[in-house]
Every structure is written in structure tokens, then in C-alpha cells.
Amino acid sequence: MKTSTTTSRTSFYRCLGLTLLMLLTAGCSGGDKAGNTDNAGIAVEGLVRDAAHQRLDGVEVFDANGVLAVSDADGRMQFRLPEGSTGPLRLRKPGYAAQTVPLQVMNGQADFEATLGRRGPVISIDPSQPVDVAGTHGARVTLPANALVDGNGNPVSGEVELTITPVDVSSDDEMGVFPGAFAGEDADGTTVPLILSYGTVEYRFTQDGEELNLAEGQSAEIKLPVFVEQHPDGSPVQIGDTGALWYLNEETGLWKQEGSGTVVASLDSPTGLALQARVEHFSWWNHDVAPATCDLTINISGLPSGTEFVLKGQTQTPGPRSATTVVSSGGDQYITPRDNPVRLSSTVKTQDGVYRANQTTTCNGVADTTTLAFSGPEAPVIYYFEGRTKPKFGLELDPDDPSTTRWVLEGQDAIFDWVVAFADQLTLSSDQGHETTLGNDSGLVQFPLELNGSHADEYQFTLLAETVDGGVDSITRTLPYDTGEPYIYKADSWQDFRDENVQAAALSWEVEGADSLQIWAGIYDDVEPLLLYEDNDPPQTGDVAINTVESIFSSLGAGQHSVVLLFTNQYGTSEARVDVSVYDPNLFCMGGKSGRGGTAASSRGICE
């Protein structure tokens, strides 16, 4: 039985890979071009992924004048900006939270990598009634009846869609989803060069695609999960602490402080804490602190004189987080949180070869100095190389019943993803005769496994990285040929708690070649399995909400239960397993709570 797999990378590979992708995209192919088509202005090349490092196509980068470019199937885009442009880049894609990326220009080129986070599940609400809705990780919003208006200030009636999208800043993967710069203005209008985040959430109300907001004079209560356990000084975050509240100006990419909140208990937050506050409009809202800063002068060694490079700094404590990128040539000041370790990393390609630096330093006092040591020119290094197979299905008439169709396995594709540095040439080949030259230091490639109409049962693929002076690195991966069963790309779950009577687990999937879908609970538990849902013609991309109070609780009881999605066609069955937590409805409170699937019920109860 074949199911999809998700490859885990260490934090080191993730962070270093992101830096490499941003710095080494020159010469990338693909991408829609828009705007200026001559060589004037700033050349921009971008790569867009999600938090799981999957490339995203159809992502629009835009400004006040409209769409500048759209990412291609490899997640890449190319376009030009007018000379002197300083504003951030804004990105959007249906189903993903809005993103704002600071513009960093070096030698007339502005390369970037952006991470988009998938929005939380869509929740339908009636704006004529009081709203009290919880999202994942304990994020929450409460507002009175008739509090929403459209863009013209008109009251809203009819069904409204709400998404709540928190960003876990304690995760290196999700840190990339954080929108805008880690900087802004405080409540007095004073420039704040550095802010540190405890967690941020996008609250988005829409009707027919139009964004809605609070009417003048109305306010809402929000809860932002606290994702870190300590303050910048190392003291623990505790109930009753006061935290500054900031919202994002998406046009500038900067944050503006507006009010404050109080830390309260939150059963579904990973730390058990959330910042509770009142707001008068919806946006990205951020629980931040403006820390004491230190001006760190960074001198360099080991790099050819006068070389410009992009330097990335990321905090390393279990406290509130930041990640900042600057363009430098050495000897410049870099603003860091005082007395907090920061990892500095950079990779730069010169005429002599590729140089890199990666070290952690702590800036003490008002000002400090450090030397960032570059090593190079470097031999090629393959940081990441993984592959998987994907069956290709088509439909044909069933010879036993010409009035119906059936799935037919048409072939098999190999899909590879890689991150490499310092290579002059990259070659991907197999022991069965495949061979292709890869044109970029990072990318995604897909091609058929069949050669001359036939295929082997197993393939060995080798990625070879070479430099002109003879440096070599290589990695070999083995891929089996798929037997033809349906293939699950992903399966996920959220839990929505709408009111005192409803607990709903919202399951989503992407599948290919499936004729039927059954969703069961209890298959892996020591109980009688319970059929929750059945579809004899499931869509390739779909979702369904399961009422867990009326079904799972009544049959299996409270606690954490496995929910299994079984996809079947004439070749076999594939399954995806997710865990959901089911609570005793007798303990359920009005407005309820929400938790990510797989979060076990707390013995403290949910009415706290």
C-alpha cells in the first residue's frame, strides 16, 4: 500500500537552504514576466514555497498598479521594478495568507524567497448574530452582532466566511510565513528598528471575495497564541503579563503598535498561554516586544575586498523571535537584540567562486563588534536531495460496461527536489539511462520513468555536483516503480468547535486515481470501527467536516482517536491517517475551543 511521504529536514538545512535559495537564484529559468521588459530598473527573481517547502505556482506578486508577475510550476518568477524602488513585495494566492516581503537590492538585482502559509479552514458565520469562533492553536475572535461592514462602510448581511491563521514563530519552518519586516513604529510614532514576536495571527472576514472589517465604533476581542515560553530577558511568560499589540501595514511591510493585551490561560495554545486584547479593525495582529538593541559592527574576513553580500540574522533563544536580512560589504552596523545570541549566515558567489559564513554571536551593551569569517572558494556541497514517484492516471471506457469509465495507469513520474551550493554543473542520472543537466542551485524537476515504453522495478538516481577545478559531491537515491494504486499527496485535519453542541473535524486531502473514499474512526483502536463518511466519486482535492460529538463520541467516547481515509480503485487501496481529539460534550462551553488535529484532551477540562 502506497501513501505519500513528507521529508523532514533539520533546522540547519532548512535555514541554510533558505539563504542559499535567496542568494543563488541568478540564472533561473521560467517564470512569467511583466512590467518592464527591457534591461532598465531592478531585476527581480523570486522563489515561492509553502511552510512544508513545496513549490507554489500561481502566486501573484503585485503593487498598487496591479500584478507584476505570477510564479510558474516551479514556484519561480522574474520581473523588473523601476530604478530606486524601495517598497516591499506583496504576494497572494487563493487559500494562502497574504505575504509581504522586504525588498533587498544588491548590484541592481533583488532576489528573494517567500514562504506562504495555508490559511486556516473556512468557517461560515452569520454576522447578524454574536460571533465567537476559535481557530487552531487557541487563536480566537469574538465580536458582537452586526459589527461587520464592507469596503464602503455598508452593513453586511448574509453568510460571511472567516479564516483564522496563526503563525508559530517558534518553528523555523513557519518563521518564513511571518509577514513583513521585524520593524515598525510604536504607539507614539517613533521608529522601532527591531521587534521580536511571540506569535502572530491573520484574522480575515470575507463575503463573495471582498474583505470585510469592523464598523466604526465597534471592537472585537482576539486571542493570539503565545508560542514561546520566555521574555527576552529570560524570565518566563506568565498569566497576567502585559504585551504590546501590533498590526501590519501591508503596503509598507512595517508593523504599527496599537494598544496592548493581557496574557491569559489557553488550553489549545502550545504553551498554554495567549494574549487577549481588543481591536477596532482586522489585519495581521502580532504580539511583539521592542527589545533593548545593540549596534553590532560586523567586520569580515576571508572574502575578496569590496564584495557585497546579503547577511541574514536570526535569534536563537527560546524567547520571542526575529529574522532580519541586510545588504552589506562589511564594516556596517547590524541592529540585534541586546544580550541575545543571533545566528549570522551568508553565501555569496564571486568571480573566484562561492564563499559562505555561518556563526552565532551575542551583542552586549549599546554597541559591539564582531568579525564574520567567510570560508571559500568552496567545493560543491549537496545540502538536500530527495525524490519520490507519482503515478499518472487516465480514464478509459470500461470494456465490461462501455457506459462507464475506469482509471488506467498511464505511467510513472519521478519528482526530485534539491538544494546545492558552490557547483558549476549539476547532473541528474539513473542506472537505467536517464540523464539531465540541472540549471539551478535549487529546484524541482519531474519527468517520466518509462524509457522506450518500458520501466524497471527499481531505479537508482544520482545527483552529481561538480566545479571546474575538479571538486565533486554526489548523493544517490533509490526509487521503486509504483504499482499503480491511488496516490495520496496529503491528508490533514483541523478541529472546529462552533457552539456547545458541535465539534467538527474538518479533513482535507489531495489524491490521484481514486474511485471511492471511506473515512473510518477506530480502525487502529481496540473498538468496533465506525464509518463516518463515504463517497463513490471523490474529487482529487477535497474536504469534509465530520460531526464528532454525534458520531465518534457516542460510539468511541472522549479522547484521541485515529481517523483513517481509505482511497480505493481497481489496483488497490491507499490510506491516510490523522488523529483528532474528541471531548465530552457535557464539559463543553458556549463558544467552545479549537485544536489542531492530534491534540489530546486536557484533564483540566475545556471550560477553564
**CA pair distance 572, 223, nearest whole angstrom:** 45
pLDDT in tens, 552-585: 777 888 777 888 999 998 888 888 888 777 777 6
Contact of 576 with 597, CB cutoff 8 Å: no
599's CB contacts (< 8 A; 6+ apart) are 268, 495, 560, 581
| Residue 254, burial from CB neighbour count under 10 angstroms (0-12, 13-18, 19+) | buried
Select from 298, 287, 343, 461 the least CA-distant residue to 18.
Answer: 343
* Three cell numbers written together for 4: 505519500
Cell, residue 343? 545566528
Torsion sign, CA atoms 524, 530, 536, 541:
negative
Q: pLDDT tens digit string along 21-71?
A: 333 333 333 333 333 345 678 899 888 988 877 788 899 999 878 899 999
Task: Answer with the residue of higher pLDDT: 470 or 189.
Answer: 189
Quote the percentage of the chain above a pLDDT of 70: 87
Q: Helix, strand, or coil here: 467?
A: coil
Q: How large a percentage of the chain has pLDDT more than 90?
A: 43
Q: Is the peptide bond before 377 cis (omega within 30 degrees of 0)?
A: yes
Q: Cite the beta strand spans of 168-318 per DSSP E.
A: 184-185, 191-192, 196-207, 210-214, 220-225, 242-249, 254-265, 273-279, 284-289, 293-301, 309-315
Lowest mean pLDDT across 3-12, 260-269, 340-349, 590-599:
3-12
Q: Taking a C-beta distance cutoff of 8 angstroms, is the pair 293, 193 a contact?
A: yes
Q: Residue type at 210?
A: E
Q: Are 111 and 78 in contact (CB under 8 A)?
A: no
Question: Can you tell me the distance from the alpha carbon of 221 to that of 280, in angstroms, rounded to the nearest whole number?
Answer: 9
Rounded Cα distance, 543 and 102, in Å: 34
424 vs 263: which has the higher pLDDT: 263
Which has more pLDDT, 12 or 397?
A: 397
pLDDT score for 479: 93
> DSSP character for 537?
S
How far are the Cα atoms of 39, 160, 239, 517, 569 from residue 403, in angstroms, in the given order? 57, 42, 65, 22, 18
User: How far, in Å, CA of 161 to CA of 274, rounded?
Assistant: 24
Average pLDDT taken over every residue of the chain = 82
- Is residue 504 over pLDDT 80? no
Query: With 0-12 CB in 10 A as exposed, 13-18 as middle and 19+ as buried, what is 477?
Result: middle
Which residues contact residue 553 at a Cβ distance below 8 angstroms, ignoring those fewer than 6 apart? 503, 582, 583, 584, 585
Q: How far is CA 436 from CA 103, 137, 461, 466, 475, in A?
A: 34, 44, 11, 14, 15
Model pLDDT for residues 216-251, shown as the tens digit of each residue: 999 999 999 999 999 998 999 999 999 999 999 988
Indicate the pairing of strand 367-373 with strand 293-301.
Answer: parallel
Helix spans in 110-241 (H): 172-175
Which residue in 216, 197, 210, 217 sits closest to 284, CA to CA? 197
**What residue ranges define each of the domains in the chain, with the CATH number in brackets?**
12-118 (2.60.40.1120), 123-289 (2.60.220), 292-378 (2.60.40), 381-480 (2.60.40.10), 487-587 (2.60.40.10)
Q: Are 102 and 111 in contact (CB under 8 A)?
A: no
Report the SS3 class of residue 14.
helix
Cell digits of residue 325: 536580512
- 21, containing H or E segment: helix 11-23
**Confidence tier at 293 by pLDDT (50, 70, 90):** very high
Q: Which residues contact 522 (CB under 8 A, 6 or more apart)?
A: 528, 529, 530, 555, 556, 561, 562
- How many CB atoms sit inside 10 A of residue 71's CB? 27
Q: What distance in Å separates the CA atoms of residue 52 and residue 8, rounded to the nearest whole number?
A: 9
| Of the candidates 12, 52, 19, 116, the residue with the CA atom closest to the CA atom of residue 324 | 19
* pLDDT of 603 higher than 50: no
pLDDT in tens, 508-548: 888 888 889 999 988 877 778 889 899 998 888 888 877 77
Please tell me the distance from the alpha carbon of residue 162 to that of residue 213, in angstroms, as a whole number.
11
CA distance 89 to 566: 42
**Per mean pLDDT, which of 240-254, 322-336, 458-472 is the most reliable?**
240-254
Cell numbers describing residue 484: 499503480
State the amino acid at position 149 in one-letter form.
Answer: V
Q: Which residue has the cell 542568494?
A: 23
Task: Return d(Cα 29, Cα 21) in angstroms, integer.
Answer: 14
Q: If you average pLDDT over residues 459-465, what whole number do you get? A: 96
Which of residues 238 and 121 earns the better pLDDT score?
A: 238
Handedness of CA 182, 76, 58, 11 (dihedral sign): negative
Average pLDDT over residues 404-415: 85
Give the range among 68-77, 305-314, 481-490, 497-506 with minimum mean pLDDT: 497-506
Section 184-192 average pLDDT:
93
Give strand pairing partners of 348.
355
Q: For 17-31, 311-325, 498-512, which range has the lowest pLDDT when averaged over its residues?
A: 17-31
Would you say 339 and 364 are in contact if contact means Cβ atoms under 8 Å apart?
yes
The CA angle 116-118-119, to the nearest 5 degrees, is 120
- Would you state the pLDDT for residue 163? 92
